[in-house]
Amino acid sequence: MAEQNQIKQNAYRSDGFIGKYQRLVSDTVIPYQYKVLNDKAEGAEKSHVVQNFINAGKAVRGEDPGDGFYGMVFQDSDAAKWIEAAAYSLANFPDPALEKQVDDLIDIIAAAQDEDGYLDTYFTIKDKDKRWMNLLEAHELYCAGHMIEAACAYYESTGKMRLLDVMRKNAALIYKVFVEDGHGGFPGHPEIELALMKMYHLTGDKKCLALAEYFINTRGTDPDYYRRECDARDWKVWGNDPGNGEYQQSNIPLRKAERAAGHAVRAVYLYTGMADLAAETGDGELFGACRRLWDSITKRQMYITGGIGSTVHGEAFSVDFDLPPDTAYAETCASIGLMFFASRMLENEVNGEYADVMEQAFYNTVLAGMQLDGKRFFYVNPLEVIPGISGVSPTHRHDLTQRPGWYTCACCPPNAARLISSFGKYAYGENDDTVFCHLFAAGTVSFENGMELVCETGYPYSFTVRYKVTGTGKVAVRIPHWSAEYSLAVNAESFNDAPVDGYVYIPVHGEAEIILTLDGTPRFVYASPKVPRLTGCTAVCRGPLVYCFEGADNDGDVLSLKLCTGGSIGVTEDPGLLGGTVKLAVPAVRVSQTEGLYTTSKPTETPCTAYAVPYYAWGNRGENQMRVWLPVNE
């Protein structure tokens, strides 16, 4: 096992492109989402999250719970993810006013905890006698997991124990119910597994480790559990099919799993917990399952943007190579979960392909999930939208042409906020004698092994990465798979050691300047012929960025464009475009319109230039056509 330990968030300070996004989250996203949670955001759907906790506190004290519970059964998790995002933001940008808001919310949450440690507003307000009776649908363990993550993050950032104490008490109750009392079963929506591992790493509480191991080891060993649970009660939340074990990742023991299946977010949250447990315990069999699941996702079920979960039916994986661009689901949360999974796989083995996928998912699907102003969000991330069809046709209704402001099911906006704010946890890692540069981000890092690093780069638009390192040990720098060529210099001298599993290891004694130069040449990318919708098509990428063609740059029409792959792709920096970006100019032809729906006359083709912008920035200039994949002109 790699025995690599992720650095604490407050040891990283970011600048550059990532710093700009972190500042946006701090200045705009977190305050806006706080208003949403308190039902004070104009034009946003009612949330009631904070009021749910207030009402639950009344119920705990035996008082009238006011207007009761409102929202989804997992509504509590919105507060948890907001606290986690705020915690990481406080580490980046100390803010006494924000810290007080978090402290006040934690007091409200703590007051909603029952005497035995139970914490879930839905059941505390509505159905106290139905606790733990509907693991399939009710999300009690899911909500607990997110609040555990929030508690860990807030303690790491501020040193405050209030929420951590609340959630340690809650975890102790869950351990008693499921391990000591033998309740049986496992979470319908995995999440608590990865959260328990975080709490174990932070506190050393072995009950957290044992509980995570219990849920992972139990899952799938009794495929009929949810059916029996459903038969034993006369109520439901929304009617999940208890017999659909594949959707719930509960049809076979996890160590025997061969392919990623079911609800995509649930899957990657579960696989993250599995990978973390495998790294902690040295469980080679469990890691072997993780590796098979990783390959299933990234080699056969992942979009070029790092999006996963191709079908709207169940927000799920479908079958291998089923990756339609226009009906893609590719939920933002699923790509965030894929990054979680990749980061834990790096804890098992240092292999550049995990960081490659983290980068692919982040710079494309994750960032595309948020409008450039931080005020609107995509749940679904298609690779093609056509106004009049997308968001309208029954088959395309989920693929919207514009980002909504908020959702009744608001999992993605706070998820994106917490991921962006904690970017340092994914960019860097360490073990006793090596620091790992997984992702390229300007900023300053202090490692627990005594080494310090300053990174200067304009990435992802500039391809020179400069590290100033002090300390004694090794610096492992990832060489991305997309970079056809690269050069490394250490203290102004060429460094030619070959990469090992995607990383070049550079010894440092005292001080060193490391300069990595990557290949920023734009490139055409082609899909496997096994992907039916992409036959004869190409996409355009530069560095980690996938590009797309919008009508706004192409006379309103991208459907008639075909790309000429024999020519070179032009690169133009445009500080005034979409917050400052690089536009690509691709040789193309435009196919003439026909008079009728069908014709026997071959359409004429006129040479032109097709212009592309980064996929993460699409949909910021009003409704228009967008395509990632375009036909190749033969």
Cα–Cα distance, 567 to 561 (Å, whole number): 15
Distance CA 354, CA 352 (A): 5
Quick check: is 437 catalytic? no
Identity at 527, one-letter amino acid code: A
H-state helical runs in 159-304: 162-175, 192-203, 206-218, 225-231, 264-281, 284-300
Tokens, residue 137: 């649908």
Please enumerate in sequence order all residues whose Cβ is within 8 A of that of 463, keeping only pairs 6 or more positions apart, or say none: 483, 517, 518, 519, 520, 543
Phi first, then psi: give them for residue 465, nearest 5 degrees. -120, 120
Catalytic status, residue 246: no
The SS3 call for residue 11 is helix
Of the listed 152, 208, 333, 411, which one is catalytic? 411
Alpha-carbon distance of 399 to 384, in angstroms, equals 9
The HSE-up count of residue 529 (CA atoms within 13 Å, CB side) is 1
Angle at 276 between CA 291 and CA 29, to 5 degrees: 105
Residues 68, 55 contacting (CB under 8 angstroms): yes
Q: Exactly one of 315, 353, 359, 384 is catalytic; which is it?
A: 315
Question: CB-based burial of residue 568 (10 Å sphere; 0-12 exposed, 13-18 middle, 19+ buried)?
Answer: exposed
Interhelix angle 332-348/284-300, rounded to 10 degrees, is: 140
State the Cα–Cα distance between residues 69 and 293, nearest whole angstrom. Answer: 38
What distance lies between CA 47 and its chain's CA centroid? 22
Q: How far apart are CA 402 and CA 373, in angstroms?
A: 13
Please name the residue that has the structure tokens 């590719």.
Answer: 330
Residue type, 113: Q
Strand partners, 317: none
310 phi and psi angles, rounded to 5 deg: -85, -15
Q: How many residues does the chain have?
A: 634
Pick the closest to residue 304 from 541, 79, 535 (CA basis).
541
In degrees, rounded to 5, the angle at the alpha carbon of residue 235 between the alpha carbons of residues 315 and 136 is 40
Cα→Cα distances 239→69, 131, 227, 285, Å? 19, 17, 12, 35
Q: Where are the beta strands (DSSP E) in 425-566?
A: 428-430, 434-437, 443-446, 452-457, 464-478, 486-490, 493-494, 503-518, 523-525, 537-542, 545-550, 561-563
Q: Which are the catalytic amino acids?
A: 315, 411
